[in-house]
Structure 1
C-alpha cells in the first residue's frame, strides 16, 4: 500500500498521478510534436502493431483482450522497450474511451429502466461501497499510517474499474442479463460516490477547516445545476438538433455531432465537480428514446473500441516495474490483502441480498480490483497533502496490479468455480408417462411445435433438463418433467414405448442425434421427428434413422426470402412460385447428398459459383 522508499528524487519521478479527463499533458505533447515538424508516426505504428499482435494472441490463448492490451502496453512502455516514456498523456486521452463506453451503456438505459434500477443502484450499491470502505480502511491503519491517508487509500480501492468490468461483461455476453444489470448498478453508484468522496478529501485535508459551509453548499449547488442543464438540453435540444443535421448535414457532420454531445456532456459535469463518465452516461440516457439512438451508437462505436483499447495499453505502460521492484514487499502484501478483503465484502453483500452463490462469487471476482477513479481520488488527496508523492506512487502501482490480475482471476473462476446449481424445488422427475406424443426439449423450438398438437387435442409428455425453464413453463400452465432424453431408462419412463410419435427438439445437436439413435434402436416402429441445427446435422440425423428432420432456420429463411421479393415489387404469386422452386431444389440436392453419403463439406451451388453452406 503506502511505501517506505527513501529516495525522494526517484519517488518524485515515479509519483506522477492520473487525473481523469485532463488532457493537458496530451495537448502539450501534441504541441511539441507539431513544433518538431509533425506527429511521430513511427510511435503510432508501433502502438497499433503491438495491439494487433498481442490482442488476437491473448484471445487465442483464452486470456481475453484486456490482458492482451495490458501486455502490449507494458512491452512498449517505459519499463521494457521504452518506446513510450509518458504513459499518463496517453491515458488521459484514452480515458475518453471509458467516457464513450458509458455513453453507449446509457443509450441502452431508458429513463423508465433506470428508474426501475433505483433500488439496486442506491441499495446494493450503497451497501457494497459502504461495507468495502469500512473494511479496507483498516489495512492502512494496521500498517501504521494516518487515519486520513488510510481512509483515502481504502476508499480509492473500492472504486471498481468501469473499463475492466464493462469490457468483461461485454465479452461474456452478460451486459443485458439480470446479474450484469446489477453490476452496472453498482458501477453507477460508484460513479456517484466519487463526488462526496472528493468533497470528503477536501474536508480531511490539513487546513480544511478554512473551507466554510457556504463554500461546500456552493459546490453542491453547482453540481446539481450542471445536471439540470444537461437534462434540459437533452430534453429540448438534442433530438431537434439531430433531426436538423439528418436533414441537411453530411455523414461526417453527424459523427462530429455525436462526439460533441458526448464530450460536451462530459465536460459540463466535470466543470460542475462531477465525473466525465457520469456526464456521458446521462447524455446516453437522455437520448435512449430518441429515434437517432442506433445512428449515434454506430457513429460512436469505432471511437469507443479504439480508445478503450488504448486506455488499457496506457495502464500497461504505467505499470512501473521499478516502483514494484523497490517496494515489492509492501505491494506484494497490499495487493492481495485489498483484493481478498474486497472480494469477501462483495460476496457477503451479494448473499445478504439473496444473490445465488455462483452470482455472488462471480461478481466478487469480477469487481475485486481498484479502478481508474482511484487515480482521481489519490491525485486530489496528494494535492491536499493527505498523501505524500511516495504513497501516491505506490497506491497507483497497487491499483494497476489489481487491474492486471483481474482477468487471470476470472479465468481461474471460470475453470474451478462450482457451476451454478439448478434449483429443483417444485420440479418433478420423469415417472410413468403415457402421452400420445413424447416431446423431448421444451425450449423455444419445442414450445412452438407443441402448439398445433395441443390445439388438436393430442396428449403430450414433455421432458427437459433445464430446471429453470421447467419452472417458467409451469407458470404458464405447462407440466414439464425433468429428464435426460439421451438415457434409455428415461425414455422408457417417459412413455416412449407407448407413444405414437416422438419429437427430439433438444437444444443440443449431439443430444438430438443420440436420442434418434436410441429411439431407432429401442423403439424402431415409433416415428421420430428431429430438430436439425444445420445441413451437416441434418445428414447425420438421416444417417441415424430419423423419420423426418428439418433445419431449425430453413423455413424462417424461406419466409424471409419470400417477403424480400414482395417488398422489392414481385407479385405474391410469383414470389410463391420462386420459393417453391427453391424448396424443391433444396430437397433434391439434399436427397442427392444423402444418397452419396456426404456428411461434411456440403456445398451450395449458385450459378457457376460454389459457396459453403451451413444453414
Structure 2
C-alpha cells in the first residue's frame, strides 16, 4: 500500500471518529486512539509502516510540553505549595511505589514495573481542568485540591521522561552512571536555556513583534521550540525537556498568549498523529481475550488512587467530602500515560500484552471521567456521611419569604450586584442565584435574597419563585451557559421576559432565537455610551441623542454590527460564521446593477443589509429602495463575509 493511501486512511478515519466522539462529548484523545487501532496492524492494516510516522508524531509531544511550559506558573505553584507538596508530591510518589510493587509481584522486570507505576500514578490534566472549568467546580475546595495535584503531576512528567530511557541500560552500574551523567548534563543544559531565555529570547521576540508579520512570529516560535528540543537531545536528554524549558522561559513574557495561539494548530495536529500511532499498537485481540483482567486493573488502580488522594487531603487538613471528591476526579489515567507507554515501547521496556492492557484501561478510565467529575461532589458527600451544612441552607430562601413580581438575577458578580443595588433603590424585590459558595455566604450574611447553585437547575428556579417573577436577568456573560439557562427558564415559564448580558454580539441572534427578549452586548452598549458623550460634547441636543440611542437598541444595534476588516481580524473557522463585515462595493459602467433600482435587485435583507449609498461625496443612510443606481456609486453593505462576496458578484456580474 502506498504512503499516500496510508495517509489518506489515517486522515479519513481520524476525521470521522473525532467528529463522532465529539458529538458524544467524549475526549478527542480517545478518538485518535480508536482511529489508530482501526488503521493499524491489529485493525484493518491500512497503515502498516507506522514507524515512519513516529518521527513526526514525536513533535506533537514536543509542542505539548512547550505549551505545558507556557502554562506552568512558578508563582501559582508557590501560592499552592501547601497542597502541592503535601498532597501532589506524596500522591505521585506513593502511587508510583505501590503500583511498582504490584507489578514486581506479578512478574514484571524492575524497569517495566517503574514505567507501569509512573503511568498509573498520573491523571489527565486536559480532561479534568476542562471539566472543572465547564462545571464551575474549579472554585470549590475539591477543585483546588485537584488542580494542586495536577500541577505536581505535570512537573513530575519531565523527570519521568528522563528516567525511563535509562532503564534501557543493561546493568545497574551503567544505569547509575548514565543517571549521574544525565543529571550533570541536565544542569548544564537548563543553565544554558535559562540564561538564553532571560537575555536573548525577549529581545528576539521584541524584534520580531516590531515587524508585525504573523508568519514570522509563528516561524520564530517553531524555531525556538525545535532548537531548544534539539539542544537537549544533543546532550542525550529528552526533546520534550527542552521544549518544556523553552515554554517555561517564555511563560512569563508578554507574548505568552500569542505564542500559545500560534503553536496550538501544530500541537493539536501532531499530537493527534501521536495518539494515532499509539492506537496502532493497541492489540484489540488482547483486549477481547482479557476483559476480566482489564476490569480488575481498572477498578484496582482507580480505587487505590482515590484512597491515596483522599487520605493525603485529610492529612493536609481538608474536609472529608472534599478529599473524596478530589480523589474521584483524579482517578483516571492521563494523556501523559500514553506518552510514557509509547516511550517504553520504543526502548522495548514494556511487553506488548501489558502495553495493550494499559492502553485499554487508559481509554476506558478517560471515557468515564466526565461522568465521574460531574458526580464527584454528590458521591463525596455520600461517602463522607457529612451534611453540607454550609451549602444546603443556601439553596433555599429564608422561611415565610413571599415573592411576587420580583426580578431573578442569575449570576451575582459585579454586574449582578450593580443591578441589585439599583433595584433596591426603587424598592423592587429580587432573588439572586450564584454558584460561588463564598460569595453567596457573604451576601446572605448581608441580608441579600440569594440562592447557592446553578441557574440551570429546576429546583433553584422553583425556589426563586420563577412562576411569580416579572423578569429574569442573566448577568454572568458566558454565552454557552446563558443559552442553557434561557432554555431551562423557557421550559418552566414560557412567558416571563428574559434579559441577557453578553460581552459582545457574536451570539446575539442565537440568544434571541433561544428565547431571550432583550440581549445587551457590553461592547456595543459601551460604543453607544461613548457616542452619547461625543455627540453631547459636540453640541447635539440631549433629546436627539436619546432618540438615536433608543432607535439603535430598538433595531438590535443594526448599525453597530458590521465593521471594516483589518490585517489582524480573526477569520478562523470559529469566527467566520458569526462576524459581519461592512464592505464598500463600487459600481462602474459595466456593472450589472447600473440603471436598476435597489428594489428591482431584490436583495434579501436577511442576508445582507444596505447601510448607505455614497454618490458624488454625498452619503445617504438607508437609501430609498426606489432610487436608481448609477456608475461611480458606492454601496456600503453589511453581512457575513461569504454573503457579502456573493452580493458583490451579483451587483457586478448579475449572477
TM-score, scaled relative to structure 1: 0.69
Q: Which residue of 2 is the match for residue 207 of structure 1?
A: 171
Contact 1:532 1:538 survives alignment (8 Å) = no
Q: Which residue of 1 is the match for residue 361 of structure 2?
A: 402
Structure 1 76/581 Cα, relative in aligned 2: closer, same or farther at 3 Å? same
Structure 1 303/173 Cα, relative in aligned 2: closer, same or farther at 3 Å? farther
Q: 1:77 aligns with which of 40, 53, 75?
A: 40
Q: Which residue of 2 is the match for residue 10 of structure 1?
A: none
Q: Which residue of 2 is the match for residue 607 of structure 1?
A: 610
Q: Which residue of 1 is the match for residue 417 of structure 2?
A: 447
Q: 2:126 aligns with which of 166, 182, 188?
A: 166
Structure 1 490/317 Cα, relative in aligned 2: closer, same or farther at 3 Å? closer
The aligned runs of 1:334-373 (5 Å cut-off) are 334-352=293-311, 353=313, 354=318, 355-365=322-332, 367=334, 370-373=337-340
The aligned runs of 1:438-517 (5 Å cut-off) are 438-441=406-409, 443=411, 444=413, 445-454=415-424, 456=425, 458=427, 462-464=431-433, 466=435, 468=437, 471=440, 473-474=442-443, 477=446, 479-482=448-451, 486-487=461-462, 491=465, 504-505=472-473, 508-510=485-487, 512-513=489-490
TM-score, scaled relative to structure 2: 0.65
Contact 1:120 1:186 survives alignment (8 Å) = no
Contact 1:108 1:288 survives alignment (8 Å) = yes
Q: 2:89 aligns with which of 111, 116, 126?
A: 126
Structure 1 195/289 Cα, relative in aligned 2: closer, same or farther at 3 Å? closer
Two-structure CA RMSD over aligned residues (Å): 4.7
Q: Offset of 1:306 from its aligned partner?
A: 0.9
Q: Which residue of 2 is the match for residue 182 of structure 1?
A: 148
* Aligned mates of 1:461, 1:417 — CA distance in 2: 32
Moved more, 363-372 or 289-298: 363-372
Contact 1:101 1:304 survives alignment (8 Å) = yes
Contact 2:100 2:113 survives alignment (8 Å) = yes
Matched, 1:553 2:530: no
Greater relative CO (CA pairs within 8 A, separation 6+): 1
Matched, 1:425 2:393: no
Say which SS state the counterpart of residue 440 (structure 1) adopts: strand
Contact 1:77 1:316 survives alignment (8 Å) = yes
Structure 1 572/130 Cα, relative in aligned 2: closer, same or farther at 3 Å? farther
Q: Offset of 1:77 from its aligned partner?
A: 1.6
Contact 1:47 1:76 survives alignment (8 Å) = yes
**Where does the alignment leave 5 or more consecutive residues of structure 1 unmatched?**
1-32, 34-38, 521-528, 542-548, 591-601
Q: Which residue of 2 is the match for residue 310 of structure 1?
A: 273
Q: Which residue of 2 is the match for residue 4 of structure 1?
A: none
Q: Which residue of 1 is the match for residue 157 of structure 2?
A: 191
* Aligned mates of 1:247, 1:482 — CA distance in 2: 51
Q: Which residue of 1 is the match for residue 455 of structure 2?
A: none
Contact 2:157 2:336 survives alignment (8 Å) = no
Say which SS state the counterpart of residue 139 (structure 1) adopts: helix
* Aligned mates of 1:565, 1:47 — CA distance in 2: 57
Q: Which residue of 1 is the match for residue 456 of structure 2?
A: none
Q: Offset of 1:610 from its aligned partner?
A: 9.8
* Aligned mates of 2:225, 2:335 — CA distance in 1: 29
* Aligned mates of 1:539, 1:367 — CA distance in 2: 39
Q: Offset of 1:323 from its aligned partner?
A: 6.0
Q: Which residue of 2 is the match for residue 43 of structure 1?
A: 6
* Aligned mates of 1:588, 1:441 — CA distance in 2: 25
Q: 1:58 aligns with which of 15, 21, 45?
A: 21
Structure 1 65/536 Cα, relative in aligned 2: closer, same or farther at 3 Å? closer
Structure 1 130/85 Cα, relative in aligned 2: closer, same or farther at 3 Å? same
Matched, 1:99 2:58: no
Paired positions, count: 521
**Where does the alignment leave 5 or more consecutive residues of structure 2 unmatched?**
382-386, 453-458, 475-481, 502-507, 558-604, 612-636, 641-655
* Aligned mates of 2:298, 2:87 — CA distance in 1: 19
Contact 1:111 1:286 survives alignment (8 Å) = no
Contact 1:125 1:187 survives alignment (8 Å) = yes
